[in-house]
Structures are given as structure tokens and as C-alpha cells.
Structure 1
Amino acid sequence: MTTPTPFPTLVFQAALAQDAAAFITVRGQTRQNAVSAERLAEFGITAESWAELMRSGKLPGHACHANGVLAGYCFGDLDTGEIIVLALLPEVEGMGAGKTLLELVMADLRAHGHQRLFLGCSSDPASRSYGFYRHLGWTSTGETDAHGDEVLEFFFKP
């Protein structure tokens, strides 16, 4: 008889600069839109540059740990109101971790005066992110970003 896999305990906390290398590792392990450390470095994103942005206060973020292991994170740009990245390991998809991480970062950005947030998202309806953001109230601007992703926006209600 097989023992069922226990439901992981999810713990959310403010992201820590010393975990920047782990964030890069997780980014390469996502189910869709995985980006390797080498590819991120081509964009100037390294553990060092990520940690520095976090220490500067310009990149607020939150992390999710499942049974003590980093399982996902979300970061936003304090200056622009952009959701920079939301990444989850496949093992925690569908457990509410992505929604919680996104809501935490959205709250951080709103607390700093942003009434409108935006992000780049796949325009492919078969992509998980396509339905995820729309279900949460994000709408298309009709524009695409430098990476060819559709730009979605979210307006906070007064």
C-alpha cells in the first residue's frame, strides 16, 4: 500500500536578500516559462544584482516555503508598480501559493501609493498564467512588452 504524500505546510514571509541565489534556481525549475540562471545573467540578473535591488528597498518581495523548502516567490518594482516575477515550483501549483504571493506584493505596492499595477503575461490562452491573472481581475492593455508578453493591468478600487 502506498502512503499518500502529505499536504505541504506553506509558510509565507518577506523575501530575504541572502536567498537571491535560491530565487534564481527556482526560476529555472518552474513548469512554464522557466528561465535558466545563464539566460537571466544575459539580462543582467544575477544573485548579486537581485540581492542589491532587494537591499535598496526598490524590489519588495515575498517568498513561500513548503515544508521548509523555497517553493515560490513574487517581486514587484516599487518605483513603477510592475509585478516583476511570480514563480512557483510545480509541486505547489494549485494550492493558493501563487495567489497569496501576488496579493502580498500587490499590497506592498499599494501601500507605497500605486493605484495601478501592471505585468507582462503570456498571450497564449493555453498558458497557466493567462487564466490565472484574468481570474484575479487583471485586464489586457492591448500592448506588449519588450519580451513580447501581453501587458496586463490591475486597478485598486477606492
Structure 2
Amino acid sequence: MEVEYRTATPDDTAECIALRGKTRENAFSIEQLEELGITLESWQAGISNGSLRGYVGVSEEKIIGYCFGDSETGEIVVLALLPEYENKGVGKALLNQMVESFSSLGFERLFLGCSSDPKARSYGFYRHLGWRSTGLFDDADDEILEYFPKK
């Protein structure tokens, strides 16, 4: 399996939205994303104006995963991967690219919302990579984790 990693472009948005509904955990349909205010247009605008920075993993000419973050706050807003590409280092590679990107912007602390259920894949994934609980929860009842990139 060969994966090419690159910076996300506004043209990737439709494929990213479709992929989000195919993830194993925390899947969101197009309609559910729209209810949260996440639309094709809002996502494209965020990429275009630089407020939403992201990377995609591409294999056999299709996006198989992505990671996006809010370049104004340092929040990792989404990491999504097709189930057949799990446990192959793709999610870790995408997250690492976002961490490096945000470090280059000067962020000394990054954060994200993650399931507080130890049975959820994301729970162990982020903690294994050095993310730590803040003890706080967001509006979706996700636990806020933080990470301090090495300088």
C-alpha cells in the first residue's frame, strides 16, 4: 500500500465530507455535518482563507484519510480514516503533519476533543502518541486532550 501525503486543497472537500461518513467510529453523514454548520462551502472557505489547515493521504488516486486543524486556535478538529487503512500508520502520519505545521506557526500547545471511553480507538491512539487529558470536556462531551510539540 503506497500512500502519498499532501496539503489539502478546496477541491478535496467533497471527497473528505463523503469519507467522514465511512469511518468506523465517530462517523458523520453529510446531513449531520450540515447540522453542525460544516458544509462544502464553509470547509472550502476555511481552506481557502487559511483558517482551516489540513493534510490528506491519497492511495490509488482516492483520499483515504485526512487531518484538519484550526490555524487560529491550534485545535485539531478532525482526523478521519477509511477503516481498511487503520493500523497502517496513516492516521499517525497525518496527525504528525498537522503537529509539525502548527509548530511552525508558533503554537506551543495543541488540543483536541476525544472520546472519554477507553473502548474507543481514539482514546488509546492519542494517548499513545503523547496527548494528555486536561480534565475538561467540550460541548459534545468529548474529553479535551492537549499536546506540547517538541521544539
Settle same-fold status: TM greater than 0.5: yes
Q: What amino acid sits opposite 2:78 in the alignment?
A: V
Tell me by how many angstroms 1:9 deviates. Answer: 1.3
Answering whether residue 4 of structure 2 is matched by residue 32 of structure 1, we say no
Q: How does 1:28-67 map to 2 (within 5 A)?
A: 28-67=21-60
**Percent identical:** 52
**Structure 1, 63-72 or 123-132: larger mean CA deviation:** 63-72
Alpha-carbon separation, structure 2, partners of 1:114 and 1:17: 24
What residue number does 1:143 align with? 136
Alpha-carbon separation, structure 1, partners of 2:106 and 2:139: 26
Answering whether residue 72 of structure 2 is matched by residue 102 of structure 1, we say no
Q: What amino acid sits opposite 1:34 in the alignment?
A: A
Tell me by how many angstroms 1:157 deviates. Answer: 3.0
Alpha-carbon separation, structure 1, partners of 2:71 and 2:21: 24
Structure 1 residue ranges without an equivalent (≥5): 1-7
Alpha-carbon separation, structure 1, partners of 2:56 and 2:49: 18
What residue number does 1:116 align with? 109
What residue number does 2:16 align with? 23
> What is the total number of aligned residue pairs between the two structures?
151
Q: What amino acid sits opposite 1:22 in the alignment?
A: E
Answering whether residue 74 of structure 2 is matched by residue 81 of structure 1, we say yes
TM-superposition CA deviations, 1:91-131 (whole Å, max 9, x none): 11011000000000111111111000000000000100000
Alpha-carbon separation, structure 1, partners of 2:149 and 2:6: 23
2:141 is paired with a residue whose SS is: coil
- TM-score norm. by structure 1 comes to 0.94
Alpha-carbon separation, structure 2, partners of 1:36 and 1:146: 19
| Runs of 4+ with deviation above 4 angstroms | none
Alpha-carbon separation, structure 1, partners of 2:149 and 2:2: 30
Alpha-carbon separation, structure 1, partners of 2:8 and 2:37: 20
Alpha-carbon separation, structure 1, partners of 2:149 and 2:121: 23
* Superposed CA RMSD: 0.7
- TM-score norm. by structure 2 comes to 0.98
Tell me by how many angstroms 1:39 deviates. Answer: 0.4
> Does the CA-based 8 Å contact 2:111-2:147 persist in structure 1?
yes
